[in-house]
Amino acid sequence: MQKIYSGKQLDILYAQAAQLDKLSAQDHIERAAVAFERELLRHYSLGGRSIYVFAGAGRCGAYALSIAQTLSRRGHTIFAYLFYRGGKLSPECEAVRERLPKDTFRLEEVFTDFTPPKIASGDLIIDGLFGADLQTPLSAGYVGLVKFLNESSAPIVSIEIPSGLFAEDNSGNKLDNVICAERTITFDSPKLAFFFRENEPYVGAWSCISLGISPQAQHGIDTAYYHVQDAALSLALQKRPRFSIELPREKALLLTYVKGHIGKTLLSARAAFRAGCSELHALVPTEEALSLSLALPELTVHTPSDEAKLLTGINAYRTVVIGEGFGTDEEALHLLESLLTPSYSRPFLLEGDGIALLSSDRKLLKKLPKNSILIASHLEMDAMFGDFRSDRERLERALELARECDIYVILRGTYSAVCAPTGTAFFDTTGNTGLQTQGASNVLAGVIAGLLGQGYQSITAAVLGLHLVGLSAELYAGRYSERSLTATSLIDLLGEAYHQLEAK
């Protein structure tokens, strides 16, 4: 997993990298400049356009000056502006400034007054005024400078983080005074603010480039936030010994009581099997049992006549899925309450109707077995706890809920987060807009149930399941278009998503 560091933690990281990796600030800044140029060329054609670089007095300004020098060496037309702070530069920025060859590009050093240049729409702006260590809103002349840059018609690419934006919590920030970047290129760690919808107008599209800092240098820097990576999940995949075919099989149970929802049950069941579940049972209305059996012969189908026996032996199942089709009326609420007894200690998996029932009676949250998993969209979280002012606030409430109830909460969104009872959040950036298709949440529930049914721990099942579904969406978009993605397509590509992880 990739750690998501705060601005202060980045300073500690770079100090440890200098000590353990012998990576000096100068070497790190030069690496950053080369990596930034490479990433910039992936998205922009630089030929024939002027590039305006705005550098601040801190480490981000040092990046900006080094990037200006690198681009100038490639023959690009560069106009750079270096803004001193109180007449001074940081040691890193001062060192880069002193090493700049004379007459390589136009550099204007700004101490007080600044005359803005005329920037054409075909030009490019590189913003390196302030970095992730900013903790107070911009003021004085920087407000006017940000306004000037935002009102220009040229695209803005920010270094590390858009100037004026805080790396974590922006609830006390003045967002009118923040750079609105088209793209942000950051180093070594994504910033927590990138994952929140309210910051998208400022961050734009973003990418994070690793500059080769070793795991040893990162050791001991604790963080509550992680960015999920393929490599870490490939190590989490269970081994399948040759003779495991002879071992007893674990199983999972889907409960559907409402007629007309058999299609969603089928999606979850198919997804669970594709995720690797060996045995899956489903309780469905009598009228729909035959249709489901014919559509998915691998599934063991039960009818209401089996209910008493089935629920008496509920401890035989690794997990019970309470999802769409369970029902949301008083009868369903009483049934859920009867299932949440101390005698059943396996984790429940709740989504759709299950979340709606918890919203109608939040006392049930405290009765959920330890390590249960909730899959909730932003709208469902708002319905449960009231409207939130921001994604950051919603995440904090989800983390609080996970801690209070000793459960896992998957907050589904553009960047979904798995919130753990330890207070840790795992952000997954796979997937695309195709995941808004109807039935995608049923597929996700099925995949996670299938992983739980194989014996995966709740945290692994939640993070791995979310990632597999996201990878499936990306694989589909790579061949066709995310516009035409369906829930069935997600299921069909789960095998290839597994293969991608196994190849790491």
What stretch of H or E contains 458?
A: helix 458-479
Residue linked to tokens 């070594």: 188
Buried b (16+ CB within 10 A) or exposed e, 352-387: bbbbbbbbbeeebbebbbebbbbbbbbebbebbbee
Query: Rounded CA gap, 417 and 425, in Å?
Result: 6
Single out the residue of 70, 58, 56, 78 nearest to residue 14, CA to CA: 58
The DSSP element (H or E) to which 475 belongs, if any, is helix 458-479
In the chain the first and final C-alpha atoms are separated, in Å, by: 14
CA distance 458 to 406: 11
Tens of pLDDT along the chain (504 residues) come to 899 998 889 989 999 999 999 989 999 999 999 999 999 999 999 888 999 999 999 999 999 999 999 999 999 999 999 999 888 999 999 999 988 887 788 899 999 888 899 999 999 999 999 989 898 999 888 999 999 999 999 999 999 999 999 999 998 899 999 999 999 999 999 999 999 999 999 999 999 999 989 999 998 899 999 999 988 888 888 887 777 666 667 899 999 999 999 999 999 999 999 999 989 999 999 999 999 999 999 999 999 998 888 888 888 899 999 999 999 999 999 999 989 888 778 899 999 999 999 999 999 999 999 999 999 999 999 999 988 889 999 999 999 999 999 999 999 999 999 999 999 999 999 999 999 999 999 999 999 999 999 989 999 999 999 999 999 999 999 999 999 999 999 999 999 999 999 987
CA distance 177 to 13: 29
Task: Tell me which H or E stretch contains 409.
Answer: strand 408-412
Q: Crossing angle, helix 391-405 and helix 378-385, to 10 degrees?
A: 70
The alpha carbons of the chain give a radius of gyration, in whole angstroms, of: 26
Tokens linked to 246: 């002879």
Count of Cβ atoms closer than 10 Å to residue 283 Cβ = 22
Q: How many CA atoms lie within 13 Å of 394's alpha carbon, on the beta-carbon side?
A: 28
The residue among 399, 311, 319, 312 whose CA lies nearest residue 354 is 319
242: burial class by Cβ within 10 Å (0-12, 13-18, 19+)?
exposed
- Position 2: which residue type? Q
In this structure, what token pair is assigned to residue 410? 């998957």
* Joined tokens for residue 129: 């005024």
Burial (CB < 10 A; 0-12, 13-18, 19+), residue 44, is middle
Specify the amino acid at residue 291: S
Confidence at residue 426, expressed as pLDDT on a 0 to 100 scale:
97
Sequence-distant (6+) residues with CB within 8 A of 355 are: 374, 375, 376, 380, 384
Cβ contacts of 473-476, under 8 Å, gap ≥ 24: 473/430, 473/431, 473/432, 473/434, 473/435, 474/430, 474/431, 474/432, 475/500, 476/434
**What 3-state class would DSSP assign to 413?**
coil
The amino acid at residue 211 is L
Residue with tokens 């390589």: 104
Which amino acid would we find at residue 444? L
Backbone torsions φ then ψ of 134, nearest 5 degrees: -65, 135
What is the rounded CA–CA span in Å between residue 496 and residue 473?
A: 11
Q: Which residues pair with 379 in a beta bridge?
A: none
Residue 411 backbone class (left: φ over 0; alpha: ψ -120 to 50; beta: rest): beta
| Strand, helix or coil for residue 375 | strand
**Sheet-wide strand order for 156-159:** 106-110, 77-83, 50-55, 124-128, 156-159, 183-187, 205-209
* pLDDT (0 to 100) of residue 247: 65
Instruction: Determine the pLDDT at residue 61.
Output: 94
- At residue 181, the pLDDT reads 96
pLDDT at 240: 77
CA distance 132 to 187: 11
Domains of the chain: 2-223 (3.40.50.10260), 231-237+244-502 (3.40.1190.20)
pLDDT value, residue 246: 64
Of 433, 441, 417, 431, which is closest to residue 470 (Cα–Cα)? 431
